[in-house]
Structure 1
Amino acid sequence: MPLARPLRYLWRLPFLLVHVLVGLPITLALINPLTARIVIRGERLDHRVIRTWSTLMIRIFGLRVRRVGTPLPGAVLFVANHVSWIDITLIHSQRMMGFVAKAEIARWPVIGWVASRGETIYHHRGSNDSLHGVMHRMVRRLEQGLAVGVFPEGRTTRGDAVGVFHARIFQPAIVANVPAQPVALKYGEGGDAQTVVAFHASENFLQNFFRLLGEPVRVVEVHFLEPVAPSEDGRRRMAETCRERIVAAMAA
C-alpha cells in the first residue's frame, strides 16, 4: 500500500521523539556507579535500565521479539551474526553485555550515546594498537564476571549469508577460560527479512535508521544456542563451531 509507510512514520515518529528526548536522558542518568551496585533478581539495575530502553526502541521500530533458548549468566563471550546497527539494540533487549564495536558508532546519534554508556569496547579498524587494547579489555571484563558481545564477521553483511568468523576475537574467551555462546538473529518469519534489514548499497546509518523505522511490523527471532567451551584445539575451532551452530539455526 502506497500510504502504509507514511502512516507508519506518522505513528512512530512521535514515540521515537519521546523515547529519545525523554527516555534517553532518564536512561543515561540511571546508568551510574550507584545503580551498578543495586541487584534486582540477579541483574544489576543499570543493566536492567538499558534492557528496558532497548526493548522499547525495538518495539518502536515494529519488531516483535521471539526468543529461543536462554542466555548464559555471568562471564560469557556472546557471538552473533551481524546484519545491521539494530542488532546491538536487539540483543541488549534480551541480555546486557559490553559489545566490541567500531569506533565510528560512538558518533552515531542516539545509538552511539547509549552504546558509550553501555560498556561498549571501541575498536579503531586497521590499528594493531587498538586491537591489542580491545583484546586486553575483553579479557579483563570476562575475568570480572561480565559478558562481552562480538560480531566475528567483523562487519555487517548483506544478510543473505553468514560470513567467515575471524578466530582471533575468540582468544579472550580462551585466556579467561569462559564459554562462547552463539546467537542467531533472524529477521522476519524464518529469516525472510534479513536482506531488508541489512544495509543496502551505499546506505549510511541514518538512511538505514529511517528506512527501518517505516518498515511493517515483523517478528525477529533471537536464538541463544548451545555454548561452546574454551577449546584446547584453539580459537579457530571455537570460531568454526559457533558459526556452524548459527548457520544451522538460520537454516532451520
Structure 2
Amino acid sequence: MPFLVLHLLVGLPVTLLLINPLSARIELRGERLDHRVIRLWSGTLMRIFGFRLRRYGTPLPGAVMFVANHVSWIDIELMHSQRMMGFVAKAEIARWPLVGWVASRGGTIYHHRGNNDSLHGVMHQMVQRLEQGLAVGVFPEGRTTRGDAIGTFHARIFQPAVLAGVPAQPVALKYGLRGNAQTIVAFGERENFVQNFLRLLGEPGRVAEVHFLEPVPATDDGRRRMAGTCRDRIIAAMAG
C-alpha cells in the first residue's frame, strides 16, 4: 500500500505532465516519449503488485494488432509495460478507479457491448489508428475468463487488420510458474474490480510472462483464419 500511494502521489502527476502533444513528438531510441512514460507507469504498477516481469519474443514495431488471452484488468497493464498500444475495451472500464484513467490516457477505444453502432465506431477507429502506423490491442474472447481455458476468438474483431493490411501478433499472458496462477489472477465469482484489485495487491509475489508469438499476416482468406491461427498459437504457448 505505501508504494501504491507513492506511485499515485508522485508517479501520477509526472505521468500527467509527460503525456502531451509535445512529448508525442520526442523520440528516445525510436520510441515516443509519451509511450515510454506509459510503459514505465504500467511496469512500476505491476511491480508494486508483486509481479516479476519476463518477456519472450519481440513485439512488432509500427502498425500491428496485438491479440491476447484475457483473465483480468491487469492484463492491460502487463501489455502496456512492454509495448504501447490502444486497447479495445468495454466502456465500463472508463469508470474504474486508477485503471480507467490510465486506460483513457493510453488511447483506449471503448465499446458498449451489445450496441451495433458502438461496434461500427470501434472498427472505424481501429482502422484509422492502424493506417496511421499505430498499434492496437484486442482481447478476442470478448470478456475476461476464469483463467482455466482459452475461449472462442471472435473473428469480427480481426476485420480492421484485414482492411488496413497489417499483421496480427498473438500474445500469451501467463501468471505464475508455467501459468499456474491464471485462476488466481482472474476475477472470482461475483468479484468486482475493487475486490479483485485489493486481493491481487495482497497476493504473494509471482512471475508474469508475456510471450510475443509468431505474427499472422493479413491475407485475402480473411479474419476467420487469423482468429483461428492466433488462438491456436496462444493455446500452444500456454501449454508449453
Q: TM-score, length-normalised on structure 1?
A: 0.94
Task: Give the distance between the partners of 1:247 and 1:25, measured in 2 at CA.
Answer: 39
CA contact (8 A) 1:79 1:149 kept: yes
Displacement of 1:231: 2.5
The alignment status of 1:225 with 2:225, answered yes or no, reads no
The alignment status of 1:81 with 2:69, answered yes or no, reads yes
Identity %: 79
CA contact (8 A) 1:27 1:50 kept: yes
The alignment status of 1:67 with 2:50, answered yes or no, reads no
CA contact (8 A) 1:231 1:237 kept: no
Q: Cα deviations across residues 129-158 of structure 1 (Å, max 9, x unaligned)?
A: 000000000000000000000000000000
Displacement of 1:196: 0.3
Displacement of 1:20: 1.2
| Equivalent residue, structure 1, for 2:146 | 158
Q: Which runs of 5+ in 1 are unaligned?
A: 1-12
The one of 55, 58, 68 equivalent to 2:46 is 58
Q: Cα deviations across residues 82-112 of structure 1 (Å, max 9, x unaligned)?
A: 0100000000000000000111111111111
Q: Cα deviations across residues 190-238 of structure 1 (Å, max 9, x unaligned)?
A: 0000000000000000000000001111011100000000032110110
Q: SS of 1:238's equivalent?
A: helix
Q: Which runs of 4+ in 1 moved over 3 A?
A: none
Task: Give the distance between the partners of 2:104 and 2:21, measured in 1 at CA.
Answer: 15
Task: Give the distance between the partners of 1:161 and 1:199, measured in 2 at CA.
Answer: 14
The one of 1, 4, 8 equivalent to 1:20 is 8
Task: Give the distance between the partners of 2:172 and 2:26, measured in 1 at CA.
Answer: 31
Q: What is the count of residue pairs matched by the alignment?
A: 240
CA contact (8 A) 1:156 1:198 kept: yes
Displacement of 1:28: 1.7
Task: Give the distance between the partners of 1:117 and 1:62, measured in 2 at CA.
Answer: 24
| Equivalent residue, structure 1, for 2:103 | 115
The one of 211, 218, 228 equivalent to 1:240 is 228
The one of 160, 168, 177 equivalent to 1:172 is 160
CA contact (8 A) 1:28 1:114 kept: no
| Equivalent residue, structure 2, for 1:32 | 20
The alignment status of 1:215 with 2:203, answered yes or no, reads yes
Q: Which amino acid counterpart does residue 19 of structure 1 have in structure 2?
A: H
Q: Cα deviations across residues 32-83 of structure 1 (Å, max 9, x unaligned)?
A: 1000000110000000000000010000000001111000000000000001
Task: Give the distance between the partners of 1:172 and 1:185, measured in 2 at CA.
Answer: 23
Q: Which amino acid counterpart does residue 189 of structure 2 have in structure 1?
A: A
Q: SS of 2:203's equivalent?
A: coil
| Equivalent residue, structure 1, for 2:80 | 92
Task: Give the distance between the partners of 2:190 and 2:146, measured in 1 at CA.
Answer: 12
Task: Give the distance between the partners of 1:249 and 1:206, measured in 2 at CA.
Answer: 30
Q: TM-score, length-normalised on structure 2?
A: 0.99
Over the aligned positions, Cα root-mean-square deviation in angstroms equals 0.5
Task: Give the distance between the partners of 2:118 and 2:13, measured in 1 at CA.
Answer: 30
Q: Which amino acid counterpart does residue 10 of structure 2 have in structure 1?
A: V
Task: Give the distance between the partners of 1:118 and 1:34, measured in 2 at CA.
Answer: 16
Q: Cα deviations across residues 102-131 of structure 1 (Å, max 9, x unaligned)?
A: 111111111111111111001111110000
Task: Give the distance between the partners of 1:127 and 1:75, measured in 2 at CA.
Answer: 27
| Equivalent residue, structure 1, for 2:37 | 49
CA contact (8 A) 1:80 1:185 kept: yes
